[in-house]
Amino acid sequence: MAKMKAAMAAVLVMEKEGVTQAFGVPGAAINPLYAQLAERQTIGHVLARHVEGASHMAEGYTRARAGNIGVCLGTSGPAGTDMITGLYSAQADSIPILCVTGQAPRARMHKEDFQAVDIASIAKPVTKWATTVMEPAQVPRAFQQAFHLMRSGRPGPVLIDLPFDVQMAEIEFDIETYEPLPVYKPAASRKQIEKALEMLNQADKPLIVAGGGIINADASDLLTQFAELVGIPVIPTLMGWGTIPDDHPLMAGMCGLQTSQRYGNANMLASDFVLGIGNRWANRHTGSPEVYCKGRKFVHVDIEPTQIGRVFAPDYGIVSDAKAALALFVEVAKEWKAAGKLRNWSGWAGECQARKSSLQYLRKTNFDTVPMKPQRVYQCMNNAFGKDVCYVSTIGLSQIAGAQFLHVYKPRHWINCGQAGPLGWTIPAALGVRAADPMRKIVALSGDYDFQFMIEELAAGAQFKLPYIHVVVNNSYLGLIRQSQRGFNMDYCVQLGFENINAGRDEVAVQGYGVDHVKVVEGLGCKAIRVHRQEEIAPAIQQAEAWMAQYQVPVVIEIILERVTNIAMGTEIDNVVEFEELATGKADVPTATAVSMLD
């Protein structure tokens, strides 16, 4: 046993649990913990410009690699409340991050002390556990419990709040004999897997829906192996994009109201059985259960018991970690295939592939207009970036169109906050991904409003040498909200453009678009290029890559778009309206009901 400050015990436990990187903003109430971090020099630290930014950096860090747990640190009061959006985003997508906040001394907590707020109560609805540690001797065990909870069952975030005097108190603690608690993951039984395969065997047109739980469980290889064994097409959710490569013959497209391909929806509507693994039947994927479920049976495999039946009742449910379930699916499927017990679905798989072949190019991208249409931007990105690219994006028409037109070939190469969708998430999340993986080819994608929300975090990228490419598609609009306002026959308070009095004569072409992103980005210590035409995109990307290598800072490529472009979406998976000209030279006629359904 050794005598140490409780804050030192917290740092030592984080080390033992594998933490090597933190993101945060120091302050008076959390300085005792920072003092121990400074003494140990074992956990790297990125100084965010906003504590919400630190929480999103922690998310990006966790999402980038299996086993990572991002840590964000902040002082008392507003630092904790600023982290709430990050905690919500992490909780919604089953992402473990640890938020640690400072707190007023225990004797002052209920006396309206400066920056004293009951952050544990505020954070409870958006965490797996939120606690204020009131006894110094409990600090190491609170951190031990935090890592156990974050990793067990459905992963998720934890907040630990540490009063100043608790951090400073001396305690006895033996770190040499410390061991992390065993992680609990429910696992399917063989009987359950056999039951699911029996139901599958009765189907004529089955599909697998692959959710983000497969990526969280690091089980994408098993998913692809199982799909190939049984010969069944796969529809990934937005959070599961990359579980099977986009160019795999069994990749049947994404289904949904917004982030979907035409062939993905068509294949889902033609199916009669769905095996969902690690997914939550999110409404932007399903639309109404009445349409989505009609004419098909469902088996749902999920790590969280209360998730099964939450949106609609499946015909059969299995509570299991995705990796454990898929390992058993592969094992049993191999035995059944060897014994000739599995049906042959090659004809059905061929039908799905034929839809993909005939429909995947129907949405036109080869527009030559200036200002550019976003569809052409994504065509250029597909041509410029190889299969190793990792995209980071959050919300808006930029993300929706990106999911419709871009391609993902590997797990954890589409880093996206699925349920929460907070504007501003993209920059700090991309920085977190870079901190987790210094070698990955990272391309972030934002509309101009998402980009402006937390643009200050680019300074952290410059200071800490976290280079990546950020593509900003600028239409000077809140594009998704403008499109949804069509249902109200208005275009109100969604325009971002204004005549910038500081626009130089060389910027005449973008006057009226408002913020000069190039000047702002350069002022934050990064590099930026503005692009107007499609033929300028490839040279801009080459220049960005050269600057990243030379300066080791984020590089922004701002692409000026036409102001108004409606992106395909609808109210049901059988009612997605194509607003733009199709590759056939025709356009679907928008209907009054073709309004985006926003979470």
pLDDT at 583: 60
Q: How much is the average pLDDT of 293-299? A: 96
For the four alpha carbons of 588, 570, 216 and 348, in that order, the dihedral sign comes to negative
pLDDT at 502: 84
In the block, tokens 């778009």 appear at 561
Is the per-residue pLDDT at 163 higher than 70? yes
Please confirm, yes or no, whether 275 is among the known catalytic residues: no
Q: What is the mean pLDDT of the chain?
A: 92
pLDDT-based confidence at residue 587 (cuts at 50, 70, 90): low
* 25 has catalytic annotation: yes
Choosing from 11, 13, 25, 87, which is the catalytic residue?
25
Q: What is the pLDDT of residue 505?
A: 58
Tokens of 301: 């495999």
Kindly list the distances between the CA atom of residue 295 and the CA atoms of 51, 253, 266, 291, 350, in Å, as whole numbers in the listed order.
48, 20, 14, 9, 21
- Selected residue with higher pLDDT from 146 and 356: 146
* Statement: residue 286 has pLDDT above 50: yes
Q: Longest C-alpha distance within the chain, in Å?
A: 77
Cα separation, 445 vs 362, whole angstroms: 23
The answer to whether 544 touches 469, Cβ cutoff 8 Å, is: yes
Of these residues, 37, 51, 377, 431, which one is catalytic? 51
Residue 575 pLDDT greater than 70, yes or no: yes
The active-site residue out of 481, 518, 520, 582 is: 481
Measure Cα distances from 387 to 8, 17, 64, 377, 383 in Å: 44, 33, 16, 17, 10
pLDDT beyond 70 at 225? yes
Domains and CATH numbers, the chain: 2-173 (3.40.50.970), 190-359 (3.40.50.1220), 374-560 (3.40.50.970)
Q: Residue 593: what pLDDT?
A: 33
**Alpha helices (runs of H) in 250-313, residue ranges in sequence order:** 262-270, 283-286, 289-293
Q: What is the pLDDT of residue 216?
A: 95
Q: Report which secondary-structure segment, H or E, holds 350.
A: helix 346-359
In this prediction, what percent of the chain has a pLDDT beyond 90? 80
Instruction: Give me the catalytic one of 149, 160, 478, 529.
Output: 478
Q: What is the pLDDT of residues 100-146, one digit of tens each?
A: 999 999 988 887 787 789 999 999 999 999 999 999 999 999 999 99
Residue 12 annotated among the catalytic residues of the structure: no
Question: Comparing 78-87, 274-283, 583-592, which segment has the lowest mean pLDDT?
Answer: 583-592
**71 forms bridges with which residues in the sheet?**
22, 98
As a whole number of angstroms, the distance between CA 371 and CA 399 comes to 19
CA dihedral 22, 28, 32, 34 (to 10 degrees): 30
Task: Flag whether pLDDT at 308 surpasses 80.
Answer: yes
From residue 70, alpha-carbon distances to 17, 42, 62, 291, 468 in Å are 12, 15, 5, 39, 19
Distance CA 584, CA 27 (A): 60
Residue range 10-58, pLDDT digits in tens: 999 999 999 999 999 999 999 999 999 999 999 999 999 999 999 999 9
Give bridge partners of residue 45 from the DSSP assignment. 22
pLDDT per residue over 317-327, tens digit each?
Answer: 999 999 999 99
3-state DSSP percent of the chain in helix, strand and coil, to 5: 40, 15, 40
478 given a catalytic annotation: yes
Q: How many angstroms separate the Cα of 316 from the Cα of each of 47, 267, 303?
A: 48, 22, 14
Residue 598 confidence class, pLDDT cut points 50, 70, 90:
very low
- 428-441 mean pLDDT: 96
Q: Which of 318, 326, 423, 567 is catalytic?
A: 423
Provide the pLDDT for residue 580.
67
DSSP 109: T
pLDDT of residue 500: 85
Cβ proximity of 376 and 366 under 8 Å: yes
Q: Which helix (H) or strand (E) holds 376?
A: helix 374-384
pLDDT range class, residue 509, cuts 50, 70, 90: low
Segment 537-555 shows an average pLDDT of: 96
Flag whether pLDDT at 469 surpasses 90.
yes
599 pLDDT more than 50: no
pLDDT score at 591: 33
